[in-house]
Structure 1
Amino acid sequence: MRRLLIPFTALALLLSACQSDVVVNTPTTPPSEGFVSEPDTPAPTSTNTTDPVAARDMRLDSTARPLWLRQRIQSILATRKRNPIIRITRYEYEGQTVYYESAPCCDQYSTVYDVKGQILCHPEGGITGKGDGKCANFDKRKANEQLVWQDPR
């Protein structure tokens, strides 16, 4: 076992420092002049670097909503408001009219219905974000977008 030899004067200094009452105070008022540490960061002088995308001007089309769709809307309204809000949009896809219901949140599936209300596929959502794979080309092949309904709450 090695012994640590500390000179007496160093030991006395160390003991006196430990025995003295050291009080640390945090100032609660700013100094009358100067800065406490560094000056505040100035506001940015450059303009925004992202180009804003114009919002799509989609008129709400409430004509000829099939019964199943009206019932689906009522079932959505019977639940709490979602963020982002649910929207139902009509498209032409693979030669037929379809209805796309946006996902209420996160990893949940969006849904594409045929005109009879049968689920065709889930183009987005799930753990991978790529849906169920049954209509992987939906975003590329959908056409004639028409907003049918969005949650008004």
Structure 2
Amino acid sequence: MEQAETVGDLELSVGYVLKQVHAALRTAMDEVLRPMDLTVPQYACLELLGRHPGLSNSELARRAFVTRQSMNLVLRRLQERGLLTRPEHAPHGRALLAELTEDGRTTLRRASVAVRAAEKQLFSPLSREQQRRLREELASCVAASSVADPPELP
């Protein structure tokens, strides 16, 4: 009987190092977004709506990697702050399609610049070419996995 291979030394595990990079990026994003009174999920929502106006709650949740319930809270908070609008009643079906307000677009620009600066700092040890290769190699891993189009969380 063949013994299954174990993860072994965590410092040699690509997945473990990826998780460390994710945690470092998340912490850096939290720090630059906090003065704008934004969370990372709120920023992700603004960024997605800035690129794709009119996305539904379900689609935003899927693309931001949060549950529909969590995204509903994110949307409600952003709407209360006047950063986005949603109709009171769905024009058809049940989806309340969200769009950024002018204040939302202004906040998104500020937040996007701050997040990009944090990302640049984190990846500064790598050359532009190394960053490009890393991005392409990680994208090929995602494309080969079932996470490429993740199912909606319950």
TM-score class, shorter: under 0.3
Give the TM-score taking structure 2 as reference length.
0.25
Give the TM-score taking structure 1 as reference length.
0.25
Q: Which is bigger in relative contact order (C-alpha 8 A, separation at least 6)?
A: 2
More strand by share: 1
